[in-house]
Amino acid sequence: ASDRNVCIKLEETLIPVEETVQSACEILGLDPLYVANEGRFAVFVPAAQADAALSDLKKVEVSQGAVRVGTVEETPGRTVVLQSRIGGNRVVDMLSGEQLPRIC
């Protein structure tokens, strides 16, 4: 987002997180967006090509679970924003240092 001066908007409900990972993160107070993982990647394509890209990805066994999780807006902002399950928005920053559990 910062390199291209755009705003990336993600929808939490569209991001696939396995139930076991979600449960462990809730118990430990961690955000699954910041937990190390393997076998995931993000692809950025023009909106007009998104459906075709998803279709092509789903033809390959390892990427059959590919989904669209957000959009890129050509508005200045240089941020990544996550729309939460309850409708609020929060900025997703680069993690610096250790991830500390949420204490609420």
> Does residue 101 sit within a domain?
no
Residue 68: closest CA among 7, 24, 11, 21 = 11
CA–CA separation, 31 and 95 (whole Å): 11
Q: Which residues form the domain of 12?
A: 7-91
pTM of structure: 0.81
Give the whole-angstrom CA distance, residue 7 versus residue 25.
27
Q: Say how many domains are in the chain.
A: 1
pLDDT above 80: residue 24: yes
At residue 33, the 3 state secondary structure works out as helix
Query: Is residue 103 assigned to a domain?
Result: no
| pLDDT for residue 93 is more than 60 | yes
How far, in whole angstroms, is CA 10 from its chain's centroid?
Answer: 6
pLDDT at 96: 76
CB within 8 Å of 41: residues ≥ 6 apart = none
